[in-house]
């Protein structure tokens, strides 16, 4: 009840105050209140320096304060002395004084922000000029370095120089959204990459060590699964064939390449490292055994000249194998011609079956290429050999 009485009393006093003002003072007071009400103070901007991304907001607020102060002070100055003594006008004058103090602090903060922004801009430009030569190595290491062990080590050495520069001349430098975009440089990120160079290198090496074996295992598994669909043919330059040909030599070669990576990453190469690969190679060999007897020698046509040339060329390239039989896949040669209808090459495709050191023979397709020499003649043939298939020696 007492509270209600006080509220009514306050309203009564204010009403009397408003009623006591002249009509001109009342209109002026409304304008002052509108000017004051149009400003929303942002306390976080009062004490600078103001960051670059907040500078436009600060400029807008300074403009609003200038407008409110100009309008409000002008309206109060035009009031009569009696109206200026009114409590509402006194309170509005006090509010405008707060605005003026806030504006002075804001202006000072903006000056500090502008100076800091200019200094930051100069620092960014200096960093860009001094570190442009490190762009490639930063890019290489940013998402984990790739390449040979020597390349990774060289990258670490280069980033050590950048790290020393960051610590000595640009300590604490950070990225800036606008400057980084405008100048195409991210000094904070670059310095962080340089500082973490060894961790990035070690993680990359460990990933390479793990991925190397996984990749080989996946290749052998894929070749085994596709063997029947590929008519039993294997690319002779592929890892699966090379490992099947001489597993021990293949693993020795892989060990020579991978052990330095293990050493560089502080790991020991496990004794059973190749166990998953051996498992897939055993399964691959079993699949070859299952399919080998089903393949037939398919070259039913003959060309004594091309076949003799293929035997000789094969024996020179693939030592230690003896050719058991040869034949041609097609009954005639194919002639390629240019746009004018002039022959460019004549070729015939055949196949041979050769015995090596394993229990199965190698079926290999070959092509005899004869380049057109003019006048209806062709140069002596050269031979190329395609994919290999292991099958029965008959």
Q: What tokens does 189 get?
A: 């990120």
- Rounded mean pLDDT, 231-256: 87
Q: Based on the domain organization, do 63 and 105 belong to the same domain?
A: yes
Q: Are residues 23 and 106 in the same domain?
A: yes
Among candidate residues 86, 119, 152, the one where a domain is terminated: 119
Helix then strand then coil, % of the chain, to nearest 5: 65, 15, 25
Q: Mean pLDDT, the chain, as a whole number?
A: 85
- Supply the pLDDT for residue 129: 86
How far is residue 349 CA from its own chain's centroid? 46
pLDDT at 354 over 80: yes
pLDDT score recorded for residue 394: 81
Domain boundary among 73, 97, 119: 119
Do 271 and 326 share a domain, yes or no? Answer: no
Residue 211 lies in a domain: yes
Say if residues 288 and 390 touch (Cβ distance below 8 Å).
Answer: yes
Same domain, 89 and 6: yes
pLDDT at 119: 65
Q: What is the pLDDT of residue 276?
A: 92
What's the total number of domains in the chain? 3
Cβ burial of 243 (10 Å; 0-12, 13-18, 19+) is: buried
Q: Write out the H or E segment, with its range, that includes residue 1.
A: none
Residue 259 shares a structural domain with residue 312: no
Q: Is the pLDDT of residue 9 over 60?
A: no
Domain boundaries, position 341: 304-391
> Residue 197, Cα to own-chain centre: how many angstroms?
17
* Residues 18, 113 share a domain: yes
Which residue has better confidence, 160 or 151? 160
Whether the model pTM is above 0.85: no
Domain assignment of residue 106, yes or no: yes
Q: Pick the last residue of a domain from 244, 264, 292.
A: 292
| Whether residue 343 sits in one domain with residue 265 | no
Angle, alpha carbons 244-248-251 (nearest 5°): 90
Whether the predicted pLDDT of 4 surpasses 70: no
Q: Evaluate whether residue 344 is within a structural domain.
A: yes
Domain check: are 308 and 217 in the same one?
no
Judged against a pLDDT cut of 80, whether residue 265 lies above it is answered with: no
- Whether 62 is covered by a domain: the verdict is yes
State the pLDDT at residue 113.
Answer: 59
Residues 288 and 311 in one domain: no
Q: CA end-to-end span of the chain, whole Å?
A: 117
22 and 86: one domain?
A: yes
């Amino acid at each position: 009840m007492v509270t209600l009485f006080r509220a009514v009393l306050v309203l009564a006093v204010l009403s009397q105050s408003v009623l006591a003002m002249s009509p001109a003072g009342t209109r002026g007071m409304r304008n002052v209140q509108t000017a004051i009400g149009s400003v929303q103070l942002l306390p976080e901007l009062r004490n600078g320096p103001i960051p670059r991304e907040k500078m436009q907001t600060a400029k807008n607020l300074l403009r609003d304060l200038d407008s409110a102060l100009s309008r409000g002070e002008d309206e109060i100055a035009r009031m009569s002395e009696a109206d200026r003594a009114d409590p509402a006008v006194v309170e509005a004058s006090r509010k405008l004084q707060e605005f003026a103090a806030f504006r002075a602090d804001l202006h000072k903060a903006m000056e500090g922000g502008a100076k800091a922004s200019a200094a930051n801009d100069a620092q960014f430009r200096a960093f860009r000029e001094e570190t442009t030569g490190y762009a490639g190595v930063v890019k290489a290491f940013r998402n984990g370095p790739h390449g040979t062990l020597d390349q990774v080590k060289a990258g670490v050495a280069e980033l050590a120089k950048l790290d020393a520069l960051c610590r000595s001349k640009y300590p604490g430098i950070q990225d800036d959204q606008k400057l980084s975009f405008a100048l195409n440089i991210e000094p904070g990120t670059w310095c962080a990459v340089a500082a973490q160079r060894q961790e990035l290198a070690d993680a990359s090496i460990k990933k390479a060590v793990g991925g190397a074996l996984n990749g080989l295992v996946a290749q052998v598994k894929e070749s085994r699964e596709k063997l029947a669909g590929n008519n039993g043919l294997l690319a002779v330059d592929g890892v699966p064939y090379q490992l099947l040909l001489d597993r021990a030599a293949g693993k020795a070669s892989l060990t020579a390449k991978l052990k330095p990576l293990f050493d560089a990453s502080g790991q020991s190469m496990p004794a059973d490292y190749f166990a998953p690969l051996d498992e897939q190679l055993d399964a691959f060999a079993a699949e070859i055994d299952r399919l080998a007897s089903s393949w037939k020698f398919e070259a039913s046509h003959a060309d004594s000249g091309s076949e003799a040339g293929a035997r000789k060329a094969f024996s020179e390239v693939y030592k230690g194998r003896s050719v058991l039989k040869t034949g041609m896949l097609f009954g005639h040669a194919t002639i390629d011609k240019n746009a004018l209808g002039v022959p460019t090459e004549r070729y015939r495709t055949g196949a041979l079956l050769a015995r090596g050191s394993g229990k199965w023979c190698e079926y290999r397709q070959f092509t005899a290429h004869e380049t057109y020499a003019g006048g209806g003649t062709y140069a002596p043939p050269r031979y190329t050999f395609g994919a290999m298939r292991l099958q029965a020696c008959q």
